[in-house]
Amino acid sequence: MDNPLVMKLEQFRRLPDEDRRLLEDLTSGRQQRLGAREDVIREGEHSPDIHIVMSGLACRYKILANGGRQIMAFLVPGDPCDAEIFILKAMDHSIGTLAPSVIAAIPGETMQELLLSRPGIALAFWWNTLQDEGVLRERIIDVGRRDAYSRIAFLIYEILLRLRAVGVVGDTGFDFPVTQTDLADATGLTPVHVNRMLQRLREEGLIVAEGRRWTVTDPAGLRRAAEYEASYLHLDRAKDEPESEVGRRLKGLI
Amino acid sequence: MDNPLVMKLEQFRRLPDEDRRLLEDLTSGRQQRLGAREDVIREGEHSPDIHIVMSGLACRYKILANGGRQIMAFLVPGDPCDAEIFILKAMDHSIGTLAPSVIAAIPGETMQELLLSRPGIALAFWWNTLQDEGVLRERIIDVGRRDAYSRIAFLIYEILLRLRAVGVVGDTGFDFPVTQTDLADATGLTPVHVNRMLQRLREEGLIVAEGRRWTVTDPAGLRRAAEYEASYLHLDRAKDEPESEVGRRLKGLI
DNA sequence: CGATTCATTGACCGGGATCAAGAACCGTGG
DNA sequence: CCACGGTTCTTGATCCCGGTCAATGAATCG
């Protein structure tokens, strides 16, 4: 139990017990343990399996012509990496770990059967894709319109929210094992400037970061700094049912 | 025939005649004619229908807290606006026209039935969602990493490609009825700076813009200026089958 | 305990924002 | 046909956010 994929998909809609069991079985089948900074799948490749992050932290990224790296999304436990790989001939971006992680592999055919036979699961996966799209759109605003300060605040706040929703965050803090260079690659800033903005967030008492352990000391303040609007995550059920799992986990944040 | 939705979906995979006919019937049923700068659907709203751009030009956008507008995607003929609306409770962004447009409306239930009964169409729509995601990811790189000059060049090149793929571009030029303010809202630049970059592109003989009519005089040059990589559009079939419709339309561009 | 990665600090520079003012281009009505 | 008010486009002057370069600590790890 406490399977992160189940938790992730249930952010949208409660699943019947049988669906849960199916998902748990699938994700506990083949798992690979990766260190930090290893690739799950590379741009241009095609994999017969689809991958799910079970623990740790990964990201979608692309290496640019000039050698730079753009991180387009963080993947937290429960996030499917490439649920749609069997539709496309090749990945148009790479997926790599940022921290030591456990990645589950589900055969593409199994996945297809699952999507065809269990409409509830198919719906949940589709919804997940839409949430991903929402996150991407928000990141465009982030990169295009917000200044460096809000951008960093935004990124941290979103990660806090998503980690909370999937249940791997205590009240006080959370593990977010990224370097400032990683943050720079995700925000389109330079590491130097990321450093300065983090200092400002700390000076203002919004966050504490010691090593890989982050603590958001003033969630409301951080949210203000980020100019945050949570609607795009479509955590509707959670908001509407404050008694639900996810609702409790996100209390006071959205 | 020459239904833009059919053309769009067939970029991925040839559809059986019956599927085509179904799509043609659906899109010719209820249509609305909108002027420029009208909303198809607004953030927070829920519509019983899903919408398809049949002609003209629309965009996904969001109004920010400071009053600014961020355009996150352009929608050209054949593009579905909100194929997934029946999954979500509310739109997390708005869709509006930039030019006078014809928008087809398909009832949500009809859409659901269609997706369940015609796997080929469901697959094509799913693929379309994935292409959208690819475009979004590319835009993040665009906004995050490229300088203003490449950003504008990129935007124009992508529009050229997408209009070509759907068959509404002659060899010489195409209608792209946007203001420089629209381009600014799409790229995260100021109108003033957009203007200067367009001047540069013109000086260098890459494009000609007279009124709403644009002509790309040097596609290869524009592509270079844009640092363009087309893989994310997943127009695989087109590349692999140079004899296909789409292949012919895109010759020399990807 | 060296060696390599990561965080931090400072000096300087430049791309693009901002502000402001004209010019060209509308559609509209007299 | 022209006069008009309103967009849109263009140009110039100035400023500032964030990039660049470079050096120094701090931390992690064979």
What pLDDT is attached to residue B242?
A: 43
Sheet with strand A213-216: strands edge to edge? A174-175, A213-216, A207-210
Q: Residue B70 — φ and ψ, nearest 5°?
A: -110, 120
**Nearest residue to D18 via alpha carbon and C1':** A193
Q: How far is the CA of A150 from the C1' of D27 (A)?
A: 28
Q: What is the pLDDT of residues B1-49, one digit of tens each?
A: 589 999 999 987 889 999 999 999 999 999 999 999 999 999 989 999 9
What pLDDT is attached to residue A1?
A: 58
Q: How far is B145 from chain A (nearest CA, A)?
A: 6
Give the residue on B whose Cα is nearest the Cα of A148: B144
Q: What is the pLDDT of residues B88-111, one digit of tens each?
A: 888 989 999 999 999 999 999 999
Taking one residue from A and the other from B, the number of pairs with CB-CB distance under 8 angstroms is 106
**Are B93 and A232 a contacting pair at CB < 8 A?**
yes
Give the residue on A whose Cα is nearest the Cα of B92: A232
- Measured between beta carbons, the chain A residues lying within 8 angstroms of B87 are 123, 126-127, 130
Calculate mean pLDDT across residues B78-88.
87
What pLDDT is attached to residue B244?
A: 56
Q: Tokens at residue B83, please?
A: 């194929």
Minimum-distance CB partner of B129 among A129, A139, A141:
A129
- Measured between beta carbons, the chain B residues lying within 8 angstroms of A236 are 88-90
Determine contact, residues A74/A82, Cβ cutoff 8 Å.
Answer: no
pLDDT in tens, chain A (254 residues): 589 999 999 987 889 999 999 999 999 999 999 999 999 999 989 999 999 999 999 999 998 878 889 999 999 999 999 987 878 888 989 999 999 999 999 999 999 889 888 888 988 888 888 889 988 999 999 898 999 999 999 999 999 988 888 877 777 689 999 999 999 999 999 999 999 999 999 999 999 988 888 999 999 999 999 988 765 555 554 444 545 556 555 565 55
Q: How far apart, in whole angstroms, are the C-alpha atoms of residue A67 and residue A63?
A: 6
Q: How far apart, in whole angstroms, are the C-alpha atoms of residue A189 and residue A143?
A: 9
| Site from A115, A125, A136 to mutate, B interface, most B CB atoms within 10 angstroms | A136
Q: What is the pLDDT of residues B45-75, one digit of tens each?
A: 999 999 999 999 999 999 988 888 999 999 9
Residue B195 binned pLDDT confidence (cut-offs 50, 70, 90): very high
Q: How far apart, in whole angstroms, are the C-alpha atoms of residue A247 and residue A168?
A: 15
What pLDDT is attached to residue B237?
A: 47
Q: What is the pLDDT of residues B167-184, one digit of tens each?
A: 777 776 899 999 999 999
Q: How far is A231 from chain B (nearest CA, A)?
A: 6
Query: Quick one: how far is CA B145 from the chain centroid?
Result: 22
**Are B87 and A231 a contacting pair at CB < 8 A?**
no
Determine contact, residues B98/B176, Cβ cutoff 8 Å.
Answer: no
Which protein residues have any CB–strand D distance under 7 A?
Answer: A 147-149, 188-190, 192-193, 211; B 179-181, 191-192, 195-196, 198-199
Q: Which residues of B97-126 are buried (b: 16+ CB within 10 A; e: fewer)?
A: bbbebbbbbbbbeebeebbeebeebebbbb
What pLDDT is attached to residue A159?
A: 92
